[in-house]
Structure 1
Amino acid sequence: MSKTYRATGINLKSMPLGETDRLLTILTREHGFVRAVAPGSRKPKSKLGGRSALFVVNELLLSRGKSLDRISQAETIATHSGLSRHFGILTASQYLAEIALAHTLSEGVKSELFDLLTEHLNRLEQLPKNAALSEVLSRLVHGTFHLLALEGIAPQVYACCVSKHPIVPEIHHPNWQVGFSIRAGGVVTLAEFDRLKLEQMQQWNATWEDDREAIANRAAYLPTPNRYLDATELTLLQQLSQPQLSPTPPLAQIDRAWITLERLLREYAQHHLGRSIRSATLMNSYIASAAATPLSTSTG
């Protein structure tokens, strides 16, 4: 096997190593994730300094090592510098990078993950500097859903996870709702939740007969939704599987819907990926700040 190889990669994680080096985690189109040393990149005049920054895409020449590879050459083809113009956009980018880093790559998914992540980062970068909260969150949630779908764990949103019957949101009914169950893997009608509860209660009655206290103590284990979604929220959720989102006006109810969906997919992703999303803390700060200010008039 050759000691050197070439790859196109985007820097997703960086940490200091030694006195002047950096250790990078790079998602490459050809080889998946690579952990490589960028030698001397922390020196003031290092050629690898800017090329080892987060979200920079480089054409790389790497040397194989026993535990870590080493960057011999790097030519930058994209910097994604626009991601840092806006706190929310930068946070959303870091959030998507974390989800990408959680992927377990199979042989055929390496290039797809690289292309999918860079596509959604490009969409975030194209947002204006005064982007509205709904614009940032919609792109974040859209990217999250697509990354989960590539991993094969996207939630089911078009049909009830239990009955398998299609669910069509009733936009003209203000009180219409559907449940979402993280464990079940997506949306579940309220009628199905009621049926499951009834079945569980009947089983407990058969087991404990007249022991009301035992049944009451088990009430917390009855099937219940993690969240309830209204018709607008489910309509937006169902759009996420599409390549492009339909434009939505920057209205307060749309902001609230995207906040709900971000938190829902965050909880879902953390459960199914088995790890927390550290950028979520910064995302909470951004949402709190942006939701407290007047809505931007930008439409992207």
Structure 2
Amino acid sequence: MSRTYKATGINLKSIPLGEADRIVTILTREYGLIRAVAPGARKQKSKLGGRIGLFVVNQLLLAKGRSLDKITQAETLESYPGLSKDLAKLAASQYLAELVLYHALSEQPQEELFELLQEHLRRLEQLPHLTGNQSEISLVLAQLSHGIFHLLALAGIAPQVQICCVTQQSLNPNFSDPDWRVGFSFDAGGTVSFGNQSPPKLHSQLDALELTLLQQLAAPELPPLTQVFPNQPGDPLTLESVKSAWVKLERILREYAQYHFGRSIRSAGLLDSLSLR
């Protein structure tokens, strides 16, 4: 049996090893998650140095080891330099990477997860550079929430947001009533209408704007807001109201993911420390 193998992988995490090496955690199409040593990667003139950066996609040649495999060659196929130039985009990307690390399997092909992560990293990178503009901030939060929802769906644990989890009745946001609300329950697995005889524990409540945005997240691409809200009464589309809605939805999805994976998302703390909040 050959002691070397090839794989296409994206770097999700790295830590120093000794004085010159690094241990890299990589999501590969062919073998899922692997941890491999990048020998000499911390040396100034190392050929591997730039190739083991965060979110760099490489064609790899690896040698099997007793406890850790070793990267012997790496040819870069794609990278996302725009993410590191914008702290909010970088934080959102690291957030998605954490979810991938919690969900990905080892020693099994993970092609769908690999493609999904790459697609959402591309979308984050293509967003405008943040200048503090409210609409730009909302775009990052919206794209992050979209990525979270898709990763949860791939893991088979996406929340139900189109119907009541108790009655199985469709939920249609009511913009005519400013007091209209639905509940969101982690235990029930998503949205819950009020008035049920045996309601589950609720973790949050959603108004019409918030539910409408949440219901868009299952789509392959987020539709423009003008398409989602053609002519709703009450003019819900102020920049501040949309931003506040995305802040709330990201937090709900974060807590929902942590509830199911049983692990905290540490990168979310960086988002909380930025002006996004």
TM-score normalised over the length of structure 2: 0.91
Matched residues in 1 for 2:11 and 2:130: separation?
A: 26
Shift of 1:151: 0.4
Shift of 1:130: 2.6
Quote the residue 1:174 is aligned against: 178
1:1-300 equivalences under 5 Å are 1-105=1-105, 110-130=110-130, 132-192=136-196, 195-196=197-198, 223-248=200-225, 251-286=239-274, 289-291=275-277
Contact 2:34–2:106 (8 Å) recurs in 1: no
For structure 2, which runs of at least 5 residues remain unmatched after alignment?
A: 226-236
| Secondary structure of 2:257 counterpart | helix
Contact 1:144–1:265 (8 Å) recurs in 2: yes
More helix by share: 1
Cα distance 1:153–1:252, how it changes in 2: closer, same or farther (>3 A)?
same
Matched residues in 1 for 2:42 and 2:176: separation?
A: 58
Deviations 1:91-111 (A, max 9, x none): 000000000000143887600
Cα distance 1:106–1:14, how it changes in 2: closer, same or farther (>3 A)?
closer
> Which amino acid in structure 2 is aligned with residue 177 of structure 1?
R
TM-score normalised over the length of structure 1: 0.84
Matched residues in 2 for 1:267 and 1:180: separation?
A: 11
| Secondary structure of 1:196 counterpart | coil
Shift of 1:290: 3.5
Contact 2:25–2:36 (8 Å) recurs in 1: yes
Cα distance 1:21–1:250, how it changes in 2: closer, same or farther (>3 A)?
farther
> Which amino acid in structure 2 is aligned with residue 277 of structure 1?
I
> Which amino acid in structure 1 is aligned with residue 265 of structure 2?
I
Deviations 1:255-281 (A, max 9, x none): 000000000000000000110000111
Matched residues in 1 for 2:139 and 2:260: separation?
A: 26
Contact 1:134–1:250 (8 Å) recurs in 2: no
For structure 1, which runs of at least 5 residues remain unmatched after alignment?
A: 198-222, 292-300
> What is the RMSD of the two structures over their aligned residues, measured on CA atoms?
1.6
User: Which shifted more, 163-172 or 61-70?
Assistant: 163-172
Shift of 1:174: 1.8
Q: Percent identity?
A: 60
Matched residues in 1 for 2:48 and 2:104: separation?
A: 28
Contact 1:13–1:25 (8 Å) recurs in 2: yes
Cα distance 1:18–1:107, how it changes in 2: closer, same or farther (>3 A)?
closer
Cα distance 1:17–1:124, how it changes in 2: closer, same or farther (>3 A)?
same
Shift of 1:224: 3.7
Which structure has the bigger radius of gyration?
1
Matched residues in 1 for 2:98 and 2:68: separation?
A: 21
| Secondary structure of 1:73 counterpart | strand
Shift of 1:36: 0.4
Contact 2:59–2:74 (8 Å) recurs in 1: yes
Deviations 1:13-55 (A, max 9, x none): 1000011000000000111001000000000000000001111
User: Which shifted more, 51-60 or 248-257?
Assistant: 248-257
Contact 1:48–1:74 (8 Å) recurs in 2: yes
Matched residues in 2 for 1:109 and 1:235: separation?
A: 35
User: Which shifted more, 239-248 or 164-173?
Assistant: 164-173
